[in-house]
Amino acid sequence: DIAGQNIANPSGLLNAAIMMLVHLGLTEHAAKIENALKKTIEDGIHTADIYNPSISSKKVGTKEFAQAIINNLEYKPKKLKIAEYHNLDVESNIINNSQIQTIIETRQQKKLVGVDVFFDSHNIIDYHLITKQLTKRIASLSSLHGMHLVTISAKGLKLWPHS
């Protein structure tokens, strides 16, 4: 556990927070935070997990990394892609009552043509015997409901008819 040790890289949590801000429509705040994060990374201020002496300028802990991001809130990255989010026009996406009625009226009609029945048993040893028993029982039920047995399969193998 790394809690309280000042060694965590908060980028994942920060990116999740940015996504939540976008979801909530707070796109300006999301862009500002993402750009500050990118600027910090671009400046070479890195936590231990991504620190590389050949490209990093400073190895920092979690608190220092967070403070560097805060210090960069007014800046944008120069090399990494600048974050820009746009608010959706919520009013233009609202469906009116006549559109809802059209959707309801054009819904596909469904007709019951059959059923799948699943039997789960770990005690089946003789599939031929169980198939005979099932076909007799299902045949007596199907005559009552106007349905008929089409096939019986087990583990992807067709057992009836013509097993």
Task: For 114-156, write each residue's pLDDT tens digit.
Answer: 777 777 777 767 777 878 888 888 777 766 667 777 887 877 7
What is the mean pLDDT of the segment spanning 57-78? 96
Which residue in the block uniquely carries the two structure tokens 């750009």?
35
So what's the pLDDT on residue 149? Answer: 78
So what's the pLDDT on residue 24? Answer: 87
Predicted model pTM: 0.54
> How would you class 72 by CB atoms within 10 Å of its CB: exposed for 0-12, middle for 13-18, buried for 19 or more?
buried
Contacts 24+ apart (CB under 8 A), 60-66: 61/6, 61/7, 62/6, 62/7, 62/8, 62/9, 62/10, 63/6, 65/9, 65/10, 65/40, 66/10
So what's the pLDDT on residue 59? Answer: 95
Which residue would you say has higher pLDDT here, 20 or 124?
A: 20
